[in-house]
Amino acid sequence: MHSSSMKIGVRGKIINSQGREIIANVLKFFKQEAENGVTVPLTNFKQRLLAATKFSETSYRRISKVSDSIERGETSSFSSPSKERPKRCTKKDILPAEKQIIRYIIHKFYLTERRRPTLKDLSHDGVYPTLDEPSQQTFNDSNFLHY
């Protein structure tokens, strides 16, 4: 097979900014070698790789370890560090007692105002307590809802 007809790379593959930076580093390294001759001996592939990519030795070891596990079939591909971080839960767990307080407040508002409340209505002027501020009011009212 002729070297000019040999397919190299994948057409249409998107390369992120970090990948482009690595390619630029390697390109600069090879251009310098083309002008000045080989700076790192070809037999010392690890030092050549680190010089070309500008990676640390720790990154080299980590990537090499994952690459070996891919070759053995233990892992299917490289993963991004951001994909492994746990997502923060933005929902707040509400205790049953807090649910009863919320129901009571909404029910009381509906009885007095004859309309559905909004959060702004409920916290307006401190008439109705919020969950962040403990109320001095007791909820043993006869209108208290027990759902």
Residue-level pLDDT at 24 = 93
Q: Is the residue at 12 inside a domain?
A: no
Residue 69 sits in which domain range?
Answer: 17-84
Where among 84, 108, 132 does a domain terminate? Answer: 84
Give the residue from 101, 111, 115, 93 showing the smallest Cα distance to 147. Answer: 101
Q: Is the residue at 66 inside a domain?
A: yes
pLDDT digits (tens, 9 = 90+) for 70-93: 899 888 888 776 666 677 777 778
Mean pLDDT of the chain, nearest integer: 77
Query: What number is the average pLDDT over the span 137-143?
Result: 46
Domain co-membership, 66 together with 22:
yes
Q: How many domains in the chain?
A: 2
- Tokens matching residue 80: 């991004």
Domain co-membership, 64 together with 100:
no
Domain co-membership, 45 together with 75:
yes
Q: Is the residue at 3 inside a domain?
A: no
pLDDT digits (tens, 9 = 90+) for 94-139: 888 888 888 888 888 888 888 888 877 766 645 555 545 544 444 4
Where among 62, 84, 106 does a domain terminate? Answer: 84
Domain co-membership, 63 together with 106:
no
Domain co-membership, 69 together with 92:
no
Torsion-angle region of residue 44: left (phi > 0), alpha (psi -120 to 50) or beta? beta
Residue-level pLDDT at 144 = 45
Domain co-membership, 21 together with 43:
yes
Torsion-angle region of residue 125: left (phi > 0), alpha (psi -120 to 50) or beta? left
Domain co-membership, 70 together with 109:
no
Q: Is the residue at 8 inside a domain?
A: no
Q: What percent of the chain has pLDDT over 70?
A: 74
Q: Is the pLDDT of residue 147 over 90?
A: no
Residue-level pLDDT at 129 = 52
- Tokens matching residue 2: 């002729």
